[in-house]
């Protein structure tokens, strides 16, 4: 994508503008993830040292291929965030990194995510010799995962959540209420 004269140029320009805006304070309204505190902190810590870096969002969700057979798969998808928001949902901005085997939900995602994580670590360290539109010499590409997303079952699988049977099941938030017999 970076080698394409239109897409690559737009990606480099978008990250350049985002890095410049992150250096400025305060935020002038929120329009995209580039305006968020996470991106600003990553820029401050030099995780995006050049305009040829890329940011990914990793997501997973289950689908049933044949409901009556109980066959289910969980694709692991990477979405490129360096493109315009309307382009992120297009096929060109998404890459299927893997699909868990069925017949039902995966018992755990670690075995499917481990090989993907190894490759993402290599990309985060940097890959040299990448052709980028608008640059006469090959560049170093760094790709960082800045977000994991999914619905509740997928999120629980990604976090290895085991449920909330404790005294504070709401993530350490204290809820106020009146006790009425066995419940609040």
pLDDT digits (tens, 9 = 90+) for 170-184: 444 455 566 667 665
Q: How many Cβ atoms are within 10 Å of 87's Cβ, its own excluded?
A: 15
Any domain includes 130: yes
Q: Quick check: is 2 in a domain?
A: no
Domain that holds residue 84: 7-57+80-94+108-149
The answer to whether position 180 is within a domain reads: no
The pLDDT averaged over each successive group of 10 residues in the chain (184 residues) is: 88 89 76 83 91 89 72 84 82 85 70 83 90 91 86 69 53 55 64
- The CB-based long-range contact list for 94-101 (8 Å cut-off, 24+ gap) reads 97/58, 99/73, 99/74, 99/75, 100/73, 100/74, 100/76, 101/73
Q: Is 99 a member of any domain? A: no
Answer yes or no: is 128 within a domain: yes
Rounded distance, CA 158 to CA 174, Å? 25
Angle separating helix axes 37-44 and 7-23, nearest 10 degrees: 90
Structural domain tally of the chain?
Answer: 1
Q: What is the pLDDT of residue 89?
A: 80
Residue 133 lies in a domain: yes
Instruction: Give me the torsion for CA of 91, 92, 93, 98, rounded to 10°.
Output: 60
CB 41 within 8 A of CB 25: no
Classify strands 54-60 and 143-150 as parallel, antiparallel or unpaired. parallel
């Amino acid at each position: 994508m970076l080698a394409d004269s239109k897409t690559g140029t737009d990606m480099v320009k978008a990250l350049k503008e985002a890095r410049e805006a992150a250096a400025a304070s305060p935020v002038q309204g929120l329009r995209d993830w580039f305006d968020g505190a996470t991106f600003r902190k990553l820029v401050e810590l030099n995780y995006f040292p050049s305009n040829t870096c890329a940011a990914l969002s990793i997501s997973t969700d289950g689908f049933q291929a044949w409901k009556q057979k109980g066959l289910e798969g969980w694709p692991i998808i990477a979405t490129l965030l360096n493109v315009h928001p309307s382009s992120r949902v297009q096929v060109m901005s998404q890459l299927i990194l893997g699909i868990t085997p069925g017949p039902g939900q995966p018992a755990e995602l670690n075995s499917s995510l481990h090989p993907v994580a190894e490759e993402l670590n290599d990309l985060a360290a940097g890959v040299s010799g990448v052709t980028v539109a608008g640059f006469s010499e090959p560049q170093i590409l760094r790709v960082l995962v800045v977000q994991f997303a999914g619905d509740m079952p997928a999120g629980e699988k990604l976090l290895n959540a085991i449920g909330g049977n404790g005294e504070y099941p709401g993530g350490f938030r204290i809820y106020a209420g009146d006790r009425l017999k066995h419940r609040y």
